[in-house]
């Protein structure tokens, strides 16, 4: 019998020190990369997350692995703190666990996703997104 997605999510989260939206703000101020994996439609609906870099989930590992030929310039070391954010905080946990498996030991995600950010009363951005393909 397969354990299912809930067990996979629980296993992923067991290896993360997940951040609240307010802790995420502080982490970014201290130099963490804030990575938004939401779809274009989700970002149109919810708005843009200030200070984030938008990376499609399908290429996330290639863009953030410091050894990858396709990495973004900010992915400059395996010790860089990375906070992954999605719509509600589920797929971001799986993504952060995948980044940890690559050796990015300080990868984590934000509890509640952008929905949690908004519920915490934090502002959204009125600037265009920093989208990296």
Q: What is the mean pLDDT of the chain?
A: 96
Task: Output the pLDDT for position 133.
Answer: 83
Q: Is the pLDDT of residue 88 over 70?
A: yes
Report d(CA 49, CA 127) in Å as an integer. 9
- Domains of the chain (ranges, CATH numbers): 5-120 (3.40.250.10)
Give me the phi and psi of 76, to 5 degrees please: -110, 15
DSSP code string of 105-133: TTEEEBTTHHHHHHHTTPPPB-SPPEEE-
Task: Output the pLDDT for position 110.
Answer: 98
Task: Output the pLDDT for position 1.
Answer: 61
Q: For 65-79, how does the pLDDT look when each residue is reduced to its tens digit (9 = 90+)? A: 999 999 999 999 999
Say what the pTM is. Answer: 0.95
């Amino acid at each position: 019998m397969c354990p299912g997605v809930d067990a996979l999510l629980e296993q992923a989260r067991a290896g993360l020190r997940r951040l609240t939206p307010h802790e995420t703000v502080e982490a970014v101020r201290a130099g963490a990369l804030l990575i938004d994996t939401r779809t274009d439609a989700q970002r149109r609906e919810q708005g843009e997350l200030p200070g984030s870099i938008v990376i499609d989930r399908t290429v996330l590992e290639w863009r953030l692995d410091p050894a990858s030929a396709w990495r973004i310039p900010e992915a400059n070391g395996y010790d860089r703190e990375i906070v992954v954010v999605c719509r509600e905080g589920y797929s971001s946990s799986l993504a952060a666990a995948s980044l940890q498996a690559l050796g990015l030991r300080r990868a984590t995600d934000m509890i509640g996703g952008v929905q949690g950010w908004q519920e915490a009363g934090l502002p959204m951005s009125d600037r265009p997104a920093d989208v990296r393909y």
